[in-house]
Homo-oligomer: A and B are copies of this chain.
Amino acid sequence: MLDIILDHKTIRKYKSTLIDKQLLNKILDCGIRASNTGNMQTYSIIISTQKEIKEKLWEAHFKQNMVLQAPVILTFCADFNRFNKWCLQRKALPGYDNFLSFFNAAIDALLVSQNITLAAESYNLGVCYLGTTTYNADKIVEILGLPKGVVPVTTLVVGYPDENPGLTDRLPVDAVIHNEIYKDYSNEDIDKFYYEKENSDLTEELLKTNNKETLAQIFTDNRYKKSDNVLFSRKFLDTITKQGFMNNAN
A contact residues vs B (CB 8 Å cutoff): 1-8, 10, 25-26, 28-30, 32-35, 37-41, 43-50, 53, 79, 81-83, 85-87, 89-96, 98-101, 103-104, 106-107, 110-111, 113-115, 117-119, 122, 128-129, 131, 134-135, 143-147, 150, 153-154, 167-171, 173, 175-182, 184-185, 187, 190-191, 193-194, 213-217, 219-221, 223-227, 229-230, 232-234, 236-237, 247-250
Which of A32, A113, A214, A220 gathers most chain B CB within 10 Å? A220
CA distance in complex: A184, B147 (Å): 8
Give A150's nearest chain B residue, CB to CB. Answer: B182
CA distance in complex: A155, B113 (Å): 18
The reply to whether A134 and B32 contact each other, CB–CB distance below 8 Å, is no
The reply to whether B216 and A230 contact each other, CB–CB distance below 8 Å, is no
Q: A32-B173, A185-B85 are known contacts. Are A95 and B180 too (CB-CB below 8 A)?
A: no
The reply to whether A92 and B2 contact each other, CB–CB distance below 8 Å, is no
CB proximity of A89 to chain B, nearest CB, Å: 5
CA distance in complex: A217, B89 (Å): 11
Q: A6-B33, A28-B173, A134-B103 are known contacts. Are A233 and B220 too (CB-CB below 8 A)?
A: no
Contact of A41 among B94, B176, B221 (CB under 8 A): B176
Chain B residues within an 8 Å CB radius of A117 = 35
The reply to whether B173 and A95 contact each other, CB–CB distance below 8 Å, is no
CB proximity of A250 to chain B, nearest CB, Å: 6
The reply to whether B32 and A176 contact each other, CB–CB distance below 8 Å, is yes
CB proximity of A180 to chain B, nearest CB, Å: 5
20 pairs from A and B in contact (CB 8 Å cutoff): A2-B30, A44-B182, A45-B176, A46-B177, A90-B215, A91-B217, A92-B216, A92-B219, A92-B220, A93-B220, A94-B220, A95-B230, A96-B229, A99-B237, A101-B229, A103-B236, A115-B118, A144-B182, A230-B248, A230-B250
